[in-house]
Amino acid sequence: MPLLLEPQVNAPLWRDGWYQFSGRLPSPNFGLRPPGTQIDLLVIHAISLPPGQYGGGEVQQLFTNQLDWDAHPYFQSIRGMAVSSHFYISRRGELQQFVGCNDRAWHAGVSRHLGRSNCNDYSIGIELEGAEGGMFEDCQYESLGSLCAALLQKYPIAHIAGHEHIAPGRKTDPGEGFDWPLFQKSLGLADRYFPESVHSAQDIS
């Protein structure tokens, strides 16, 4: 089962873009969204630091600018990187939030979706602890489904995509190991919410 926080009595589900069921770990890496922005895209990512290693806290350290760049040889390749995501779901299904959803997290980089560039401006980023192309845990899907259901109620979400779909050729996450049909079924959403390439892959299989 996913490890979610118990709600505070009489507390609202959302407060200034912060979700009550997430552990709060604020990141300094964020900014304001452009005035009048409609938040209508969810972006699913996969991340692990060092790649393929889980549970050490390095992702949280990266998002909060506390990572020791000398702790592992791989970190030299990302040294000085300032990034963040709105949410992070660990291999145990634990949910943490780093940036309020009303603000702009730095998760997508150079990106484009349906003719619109700068996806960070109008999207919410969700990182799953995992390797690009690898499998994910059942509890992660459970936490992801619960979170996305809450986001769909709060924001005018019209599209859900992977990092690979908004930055093709540059990013490959969450990759082949992410079960898009299972995720879509858990939310009960129509095909129009998801990238066409996801549907094509389902038809082929």
* Residues belonging to the active site: 127
- Distance in angstroms between the alpha carbons of the first and the last residue of the chain: 29
Burial of 150 (0-12, 13-18, 19+ CB in 10 A): middle
**How many other CB atoms are there within 10 angstroms of residue 60's CB atom?**
18
Per the structure block, which two tokens stand in for 178? 């992410």
Burial of 197 (0-12, 13-18, 19+ CB in 10 A): middle
Taking the C-alpha atoms of residue 28 and residue 64, their distance in angstroms, rounded to an integer, is: 6
Among candidate residues 117, 120, 62, 121, the one with its CA nearest the CA of residue 88: 62
Residue type (1 letter), 164: E
- Distance set, CA 125 to CA 50, 101, 134, 201, 203 (Å): 20, 9, 19, 23, 27
Residue the block writes with tokens 């690979």: 164
Mark residue 154 as left, alpha or beta (left: phi above 0; alpha: psi -120 to 50; beta: remaining).
alpha
